[in-house]
Amino acid sequence: MVSPDFLKKGDKIAIVAPARKVSELEMMPAIKKLSDWGLQVILGKNLFGVNNQYSGTDEERIADFQEMLDDKSIKAIISARGGYGSIRLIEKLRFDHFFENPKWIIGYSDITIFHSFLHVNNTQSIHATMPINFPVDGSDNESTESLKNTLFGKKITYNLPVSEWNRTGKSEGIIVGGNLSILYSLGGTALEIDTRNKILFIEDLDEYFYHIDRMMMTLKLRGLLKNLKGLIIGGLSDMRDNTIPFGKTAEQIVLDAVSEYVFPVCFNFPAGHINPNISILMGQSISLSVEEKTVKISSC
């Protein structure tokens, strides 16, 4: 897959808000931190716009994103936050200049829309924390340090705690995926990702157990689970149940959906709507080793 150039001090990184609105106060910790890393921070003209829950109208959000896509001097675009709204932009954005001069697009949750689009178009991106999540006191944490290391091209190996839900095995493959709800919603569209011989990463927040089951079974019916090289599950946060219990945990639901397939499954990867939210270079070839006493994930 096409890999944009990693950043160096002095490079420009743009902050845009393709989804939910943000305030200047909320963005200041990230603006300062990115500047401390030696980057020039460029703000979208409509970054602090307001249109109901969005950061401006569709046209304003498209204009901001399009400007950063077209500007050759911008080396990375990070989304201010998620929420909902990216899908309203993707069809109207033009990526011709972007593909001539690829740059990193960064974010998670609703930004899975962009990760999926870029995967379909054979280009890497970064699933990572966003400015809304930067520590308000200006300190570093694992999430921001991971983003910095990824942006500047440092290869990282993750040694993870063992989960009782893991399924052992070793494999290599390109990592794809993102937010489960977004991946589920893109089924049957031009943005549905190709998971064949890939390692799939999923995470989600605030869903009912029955709906996790619906989404996993739909991915199975669409053939997205059958030919995986591996499955990595990040945060499955704040899951909910009905008055009549569904009868399975989120982990059991996931394992049930892939029970007939043979590939390693890794739970509790620290990424998603959790802290820490470790960066994942989507589209990168990785090695996944899940053993009884050790779990290791590294770039190939």
**What CATH number should be reported for the domain holding residue 94?**
3.40.50.10740
Question: Which pLDDT score, from 0 to 100, does residue 156 have?
Answer: 83
Q: Are 142 and 278 in contact (CB under 8 A)?
A: yes
Percent of the chain at pLDDT exceeding 70: 100
109 belongs to the catalytic site: yes
| pLDDT of residue 52 exceeding 90 | yes
Catalytic residue among 79, 109, 116, 125: 109
Percent of the chain at pLDDT exceeding 90: 99
Question: Which pLDDT score, from 0 to 100, does residue 160 have?
Answer: 95
Answer yes or no: do 111 and 219 share one domain.
Answer: no
pTM score of the predicted model: 0.97
Question: Which pLDDT score, from 0 to 100, does residue 31 have?
Answer: 98
298 belongs to the catalytic site: no
Answer yes or no: do 117 and 164 share one domain.
Answer: no
The number of CA neighbours under 13 Å toward the Cβ of 139 is: 4
Q: 129, 151, 173 — which closes off a domain?
A: 151
Q: List helix spans (H) across the chain.
A: 24-36, 58-70, 87-90, 96-100, 112-120, 142-151, 180-185, 209-221, 250-257
Q: How many domains does the chain fold into? A: 2
100 belongs to the catalytic site: no
Catalytic residue among 86, 115, 203, 207: 203
